[in-house]
Chain A
């Protein structure tokens, strides 16, 4: 440990941080993926971008706040589709492996409803589900606190409507 190089120490510190916050990555991948393969690809992409951006983590904010920003920016800018692909972005039963996952019924319903939202709406609702404050949501998305509250009202109303139709 005494002879650990600076690079190795940085890597160790990064691995410890990621391991202790990896449920955040799991949740983001769960929301933004349609199947296990998508989820694994997105997980890898997020971990890679976190690692590449790690030197810019100034410790001014909590690691989790910084992690949400990098991971969500990666999730919204990652697309596997090509211009010649056709069809709808999200199938009715979006997560093909959801039956294999040990999920509660409420989470299954919530997941299917969220899968019908737009990419940035998913980000806002995810942060709300994570009990992040309006200020933190505003800081992550770059919109004003007032607009966060307006958007949340709209997104929640839409989500409720989707859930109601599903029941």
Chain B
């Protein structure tokens, strides 16, 4: 290595950027060349002098000024609120749809009107449970006023007319069942009530224990304690208001129930029963037949009532064979009324037998007379 080459490598050597072989080569040259070795020494001497340099301190004023400037600059370019990250075009739809879904899960499903799997949802017991405590028929005053109302109601009058021998207890029982059910339309309500009273009057003989039970049930209704008396007075005072409120509740519930297809059958049956009541047997028969031909087939409880109505109409008309047929249908459709239907059939068969006999008798007489 010569001095020129050393000059080239000096910086690398002093700065420690040479590899081992380079370092060795430089060192061997330095051993032989005094001027180059002195140059290295001087280089290192300058480095030593520079290493004694101290770092100056920035004055606190400058520091504060710069710090303030940085903060001022940062606040200057803070994006306006509508440009911040949480208003990004990705996050906004995600959050809003998540919110919508959450709201639907928590509240939306309550308004879905689905057909209850069991018709019993509309049974009087269940409806009675759903009623608020204030309108529970346990209040004697309400019960009484309701029965008074029933007495004056044309529908109720019908039930009384058709079965004048109904004991009051059974009437109350039907009332107790009906009163807490403001859900159905009042007219159909009354008709249902009429049907039930009819049934109960006929069942009376068959199932005395049932009527006894109903009487027991209604016994506490009649015993007016002083407090209940007071309540009764109160009720009479606010009677009109209460009735109005009840009426509003009923109409509300009615609105809800009309959405159910069950109601179409019910209204048709009501019509048939009304026609029957008015004595328009042909129309009633027609309506009932339409009802029974309807597709889908009406529910069991409606069908059995329709058959019963048909049977009664035919009976009224005097078409006993068809009446028997329909009673048989009732027998098939309703197990609980099978007994009643059977009895009816027996009566009617006996009647038809008698009629046939009567028909036969005059002819027989005539013949005999002729023979005579």
B is a partner of A: no
Q: A-contacting residues of B (Cβ < 8 Å)?
A: none
